[in-house]
Amino acid sequence: MKEQLGPQQVYTNNIGAYSKQAAAIKAKRSVIGWLRLALAIITILMVKVAWGSELWMILLAAIAGICFFLYAVSVDTDLKEKLQNVENLLTINRDEINLLNNNFSEREDGKKLETPNHPYAQDMDVFGPSSLYQYISRCTAEQSTQLLADKLLKPSTKEEILAAQEASKELAGNTLWRQQMLAFGMANPVTLYTENRIKNWLTRPAIFNAPGWLWLARIYPAITIGCLLLYLNNNITTPLFYTIVFVFFVFAFSLSKRINDTWLLLSKIVPEVDTFSSQLKHIEEEPFNSVFLTGIKKNLQNAEQLTASAEIQQLKAVLNRFDVRLNIFAFYFLNTFLLWDLRQLLLLNRWKAKNSTAAAHWFAAIAQTEVAASIATLAFNQPTWCYPAIADEHFTFSATQLGHPLIAAGKRVDSSFTLQGTGKVSIITGSNMGGKSTFLRSVGVNSIMALMGAPVCAESFTISPVLIMSSMRIADNLAESTSTFYAELKKLKSIIEAVNSKQKIFILLDEILRGTNSLDRHTGSKALIQQFIQHGAVAVTATHDVELAKLETDYPDAVSNYHFDVQVANDELYFDYKLKPGICTSLNASILMRKIGIELKE
């Protein structure tokens, strides 16, 4: 059932509810703390009272007290985990309120995921401070952050986009489920390092896999414990017993030496495995309806139709026992008398045989679900945004009341824009600071979001599956001795190559050839636009060069002019930041120059 309250109210209500839960859990933990102290004192007093009586009475008092104390410790551990989960949920809801107020600069910005020389990522602020990634991501696992980055960097197919939209619509109405998925992930985020270790182990040939080792693991404890009982019953002399134990020790640790590589590969990953299991179980228990999400659930089974979360819990239990190695005294005893390492390895071999094929899908399931939940959270937070329609033909772009998604609604100015067909170029002229660059980024960023299956900042939006290519934010590179002009030429070269090879691209350009003189800039820009038209390309270019707008006369069916203007009153500039048809006639450079003291002649 969809939420009826707005996002701000939902998050505020959640904070109130979770704050009460946290306070109640803290109160219970305080009581348990005092109870543990009382149990310790009572146990000591019981042993003291029983002292001098029969041995069984002393042991009974001690064992009873210890059992109750350990039970209290177990209850406190459970409460601690619940408190951590509730505190994570509180953090999530507070962060969402900050995001609603456009305060998200402290979030992970994904800069490390940016691809060098990408066709549009730097121009569109996909990664980095105040970026699209920073605004959208609700991912905790490294697999999820990588998948989200991939979707931001590469357009999806129409089928993938529609599937993502369907999943997003379903999850958008289930805030509690989405937030719990995120809270589980925050506990101990799953990393690519852990996934690679598990996959490495799964692909290695199993050792001690012959049936004889299983029989040995069953028989061996009977022999060792039998020898111990014989010794305690004085049927074996002390020197002989020590000799037998030494033989057991040498044999057990000769096996452990061969098992050591497996332990090193899988050691200390239990916290992440626990997170992995919790998230998988959370997915398994939710009755999804969308094709995409039900498909994920179907992959959460192995060949024996066992659920992924149950299998991961089994793996966690074995790894916990395997980590007894970290307690040297327990390790020596258990290994010598029970072949502890071998027994855990045999269990791992059995687990590997059941799950080696299916396990690879489980990590992907977490990544796909977290990305879908991220998009759904965006949809829930922005109920006035729309899901775009995806056109089949190339090329269509149509948007009404299009705005930049990272600009707060109160400051954002929206415009409508349409570009239909191939061999089409829209030229946007306008004064400085009028809004040309922001509009280009609004077109680009919303297109990126649309092509990953997310809602967009518009009343309506239609786009064809297409690769965006841009040249907007150009910087020199001292390390490579690259000037700004040459850096731009490199970007334009890749665009021209894509145009000449008839790729389906959507080109966004801001001030073409800005690094050269005005004559060369005009000549080159004009030739480039003509080349786009001749090769059936689609482009939107912003420029101060109003002479370029005259190309509409030569190519009336291919070139369309738009502009942003400025109003002047009492030497002050007033911008409305609205896109309008036609060529700009009100430029503001001279006014700005006079303001800083340049004495221009009329």
Residue 594 has what pLDDT?
64
CA 18/CA 257 separation, integer angstroms:
49
| pLDDT at residue 10 greater than cutoff 90 | yes
Flag whether pLDDT at 524 surpasses 50: yes
Contact criterion met (CB below 8 Å) for 440 and 564: no
**When comparing pLDDT for 332 and 137, which is higher?**
137
Torsion of CA 29, 34, 35, 41, to 10 degrees: 150
Query: Which of 316-330, 362-376, 419-433, 452-466 shows the lowest per-residue confidence on average (mean pLDDT)?
Result: 316-330
At residue 124, what is the residue type?
M
| Whether residue 252 has pLDDT greater than 80 | yes
Under a CB-based contact definition with an 8 Å cutoff, are residues 217 and 339 in contact?
yes
User: Higher-confidence residue: 55 or 35?
Assistant: 35
Which DSSP string do the residues of 546-595 spell out, in sequence order?
Answer: GGGGGHHHH-TTTEEEEEE-EEEETTEEEE----EES------HHHHHHH
Distance in angstroms (rounded) separating the CA atoms of residues 42 and 540: 81
Q: Check whether 27 has a pLDDT greater than 90.
A: yes
Query: 464 vs 86, 486, 558, CA distance in Å?
Result: 43, 32, 19
Helix (H) or strand (E) holding 463: strand 460-463
Q: What average pLDDT does this structure show over 134-149?
A: 96
Measured N-to-C along each axis, helices 211-232 and 328-338 cross at an angle, to the nearest 10 degrees, of 100
pLDDT at 482 over 60: no
Residue 176 has pLDDT above 80, yes or no: yes
User: Which range has the worst mean pLDDT, 322-331, 340-349, 380-389?
Assistant: 322-331
pLDDT of residue 382 exceeding 60, the answer is yes
Work out the average pLDDT over 153-164: 96
- pLDDT at position 480: 45
Q: What's residue 586's pLDDT? A: 66
Cβ contact 94:5 at 8 Å: no
Nearest to 144 by CA among 108, 102, 90: 108
Least confident of 322-326, 380-384, 573-577: 573-577
**Statement: residue 589 has pLDDT above 50:** yes
pTM of the model: 0.90
Backbone region of residue 335 per phi and psi (left: phi > 0; alpha: psi in -120 to 50; beta: other values) = alpha
Range 505-525 average pLDDT: 86
479 pLDDT more than 90: no
Q: Which of 384, 378, 263 is nearest to 326 (CA)?
A: 263
> Is the confidence at residue 590, as pLDDT, over 70?
no
Q: What is the mean pLDDT of residues 386-393?
A: 96
pLDDT of residue 592: 61
CB atoms < 10 A from the CB of 176, how many?
11
User: Does residue 602 have a pLDDT over 70?
Assistant: no
Q: Per-residue confidence at 324, pLDDT binned at 50, 70, 90?
A: confident
Tell me what pLDDT residue 2 has. 46
Check residue 591 and give its pLDDT: 63
User: Worst-scoring range by mean pLDDT, 230-239, 301-310, 333-342?
Assistant: 301-310
- Phi, psi torsion values for 457, nearest 5 degrees: -85, 80
Q: Residues 6 or more apart from 506 whose CB is under 8 A from it?
A: 395, 397, 447, 466, 467, 468, 469, 538, 539
SS3 198: helix
122-131, 424-433, 471-480: segment of lowest average pLDDT: 471-480
Q: Which residues pair with residue 396 across a beta bridge? A: 420
pLDDT at 106 over 50: yes
Q: Please say if the pLDDT value at position 210 is more than 60.
A: yes
What length does the chain have?
A: 602
CA dihedral 498, 502, 504, 506 (to 10 degrees): 50
pLDDT value at 136 more than 50: yes
**Token duo for residue 578:** 């609205």
**What was the pLDDT predicted at 344?**
93
Mean pLDDT estimate for the chain? 89
Main-chain dihedrals φ then ψ at residue 566, nearest 5 degrees: -140, 145
In order of 242, 329, 385, 437, 585, the CA distances from 232 in angstroms are: 12, 21, 78, 87, 105
pLDDT for residue 529 is more than 50: yes
* Distance from C-alpha of 424 to C-alpha of 421, rounded to nearest angstrom: 7
What's the rounded mean pLDDT across residues 151-166? 96
Cβ contact 512:541 at 8 Å: yes
Q: What is the dihedral of CA 267, 270, 272, 278, to 10 degrees?
A: 160
Whether 461 has a pLDDT exceeding 80, the answer reads yes
